[in-house]
Structure 1
């Protein structure tokens, strides 16, 4: 008989005893991390939205060219196999589970309904993903002790999440002042839940979607990388608030390793060294797949829609569809986060956590 566990936003913390800073003893299993539990949005989703049934412009993700280079993704740095989407009920979850859903928000849908913001691409925000996690524990653990042992050597990755909370508002014409007021609520939703690796937000002012939708002839609106300064400043504001909240968690739980993954600076590093990584410097801010225009992005005719097309070599591009990166860009960013110090405290993550 499976045990029914009580659940609260801090449930993850109760299983973090293995993530104390002293690591594991020689008597324990060789793998410091042998499973990954992932929550978030389309940056991490490996098939949950497809099984929900995507609607609107997300409906195109079920067709080519999406997944055209999708072969055998793995948690390579930790020598783990592909983490299956939770909604794939026939999948093996020995190495963890992926609860992330494309389009998901950190805040519940009611927050947006109260403000007249449309956000119905998925009904599974972060709170729903945590409910899935509860159900997963109830179906796989025979006791509290069994769960503690099972999850004792697991990595919990929350995010990136929160970006869609802002995307939906900005894309529907809400002001910078209004959306900035959402940041404390979004940050609280994330840090009430995440107790291990907490990623920050990307510099959205460098995204082809924002560059296209908020184009201006005012040269002063752009920085030296030709990104929109105001939106990058907004991302920095979110990240500073999030880092401050993570610092508070570290002080509250000094024996737990809580890492901040600096997606913002890792992405800027990628942009600044794009030629060294093999990217085409003429298309750094242009989507590989889209329907034309300076940034190859049109919200009404996104990648996969009639009239759109994809570039011949995605590995030359940083942006895949104006909202998400290419596989090669994610690979470079992941390497930077693990090896170049953009996730901290780092403490030799790859050496210590690899099986």
Structure 2
């Protein structure tokens, strides 16, 4: 009788453990308060979508990615990881956020995080045309396609829960000014004052946020413009001011960020349940650029790649003898994009100051 009882208890324990394991597997998408990281934007957050479209705005070659796991040039405009990767990992999700167009990933990989961003794009469709990249409206179309696939994979209820509880990271806008308005004549002829163009972009931004809200997004982090006058490329051509930061561009960034802050407040009032966060990184980036040693850097005026003054994308020649040996000493990786170390510092700052409430 005792043997039978012990055997019955043993079978019950095995059955319980197996059932618990199965339940855990079925619920692994809900183990975190934020079940997924979903990314929209430009090269600051593109994890490799441009690898799969016909554009010159690519970085899927050495020396890009040399500090990424296995030294893999993924299409990230960095020597290693970018901000969404660090944020995803900090939220207990994947250590890297995969690009939606990368065929080596499937919908099961995208269940916990996906990136729709495209280097070179902007709020303005005309910006994406400059180097033939994915416009923001197309990023939304890819998101809709992703939603359909995830509903098929997980079921309607589970998928909709992910769309609602996911943290959406949006980083976009710099290209609208530096690649479009200040470089090409079309928008400057249409908008005589840069403030008019800013207002035009704010209208486009409002439409974008309303659209993804109606598609289920509720937790959204918006990162505005960096001190774009301090990017190495802008400093390199600022000869008359001895290669200092271009204050006009920085002032525009501050002005535009202020308007984005107003938009965030407006949308949070207008759209029930929306938690749109103005995760402004301008101040921390300016501190890093102007006080590099405080953050463990040695060089802030130029990037690591090549001479660091104008190189980015294909100009980042893997055979250049000028590329630095240790990117951790540099605030910028190339003439336009931060190094992995800078991205990590900024990500930690944004998480602590703005995103902690979502954890």
- Seen in structure 2, the aligned counterparts of structure 1 residues 321 and 249 have a Cα distance that, compared at 3 Å, is same
Relative contact order (C-alpha < 8 Å, sep 6+): which is higher? 1
Query: Does structure 1 residue 62 correspond to structure 2 residue 40?
Result: no
Tell me what 2:334 maps to. Answer: 321
Cα drift, residue 277 of structure 1: 1.9
Select 2:97's aligned residue among 83, 87, 112: 83
Query: Does structure 1 residue 187 correspond to structure 2 residue 202?
Result: yes
Query: Does structure 1 residue 217 correspond to structure 2 residue 217?
Result: no
Q: Please, which runs of 5 or more residues in structure 1 have no aligned partner?
A: 1-27, 113-117
- Tell me which moved more, 81-90 or 69-78: 69-78
- Seen in structure 2, the aligned counterparts of structure 1 residues 309 and 125 have a Cα distance that, compared at 3 Å, is farther
Is contact 2:311–2:334 with CA below 8 Å preserved after alignment?
A: no
Tell me what 1:245 maps to. Answer: 263
Cα drift, residue 330 of structure 1: 0.6
Cα drift, residue 218 of structure 1: 4.4
Tell me what 2:142 maps to. Answer: 132
Cα drift, residue 210 of structure 1: 1.0
Select 1:162's aligned residue among 155, 173, 182: 173
SS at match of 1:286: strand
Cα drift, residue 138 of structure 1: 1.5
Deviations 1:247-296 (A, max 9, x none): 1012213643211111211212323442132100xx21211113x3xx62
SS at match of 2:101: coil
Q: Distance in 1 between matches of 2:254 and 2:278?
A: 14
Q: Distance in 2 between matches of 1:255 and 1:139?
A: 25
Tell me what 2:253 maps to. Answer: 235
Equivalenced residues, count: 297
- Seen in structure 2, the aligned counterparts of structure 1 residues 52 and 308 have a Cα distance that, compared at 3 Å, is farther
Tell me what 2:293 maps to. Answer: 275
Cα drift, residue 76 of structure 1: 2.0
- Seen in structure 2, the aligned counterparts of structure 1 residues 235 and 308 have a Cα distance that, compared at 3 Å, is farther
TM-score by length of 1: 0.75
- Seen in structure 2, the aligned counterparts of structure 1 residues 140 and 157 have a Cα distance that, compared at 3 Å, is same
Deviations 1:110-166 (A, max 9, x none): xx6xxxxx934234111100000011112221465443223232111111x111111
Is contact 1:288–1:296 with CA below 8 Å preserved after alignment?
A: no
Tell me what 2:20 maps to. Answer: none
Tell me what 2:120 maps to. Answer: 103
Cα drift, residue 177 of structure 1: 5.0
TM-score by length of 2: 0.75
Deviations 1:80-102 (A, max 9, x none): 11221100133121212100011
Q: Which structure has the highest helix share of the two? A: 2
Query: Does structure 1 residue 198 correspond to structure 2 residue 198?
Result: no
Cα drift, residue 30 of structure 1: 4.2
Tell me what 2:325 maps to. Answer: 312
Q: Please, which runs of 5 or more residues in structure 2 have no aligned partner?
A: 1-28, 71-80, 214-219
Q: Distance in 1 between matches of 2:192 and 2:327?
A: 36
Q: Distance in 2 between matches of 1:298 and 1:37?
A: 29
Is contact 1:266–1:337 with CA below 8 Å preserved after alignment?
A: no
Tell me what 1:23 maps to. Answer: none
Give RMSD over aligned pairs: 2.7
Q: Distance in 1 between matches of 2:129 and 2:235?
A: 21
Query: Does structure 1 residue 93 correspond to structure 2 residue 110?
Result: yes
Query: Does structure 1 residue 39 correspond to structure 2 residue 40?
Result: yes
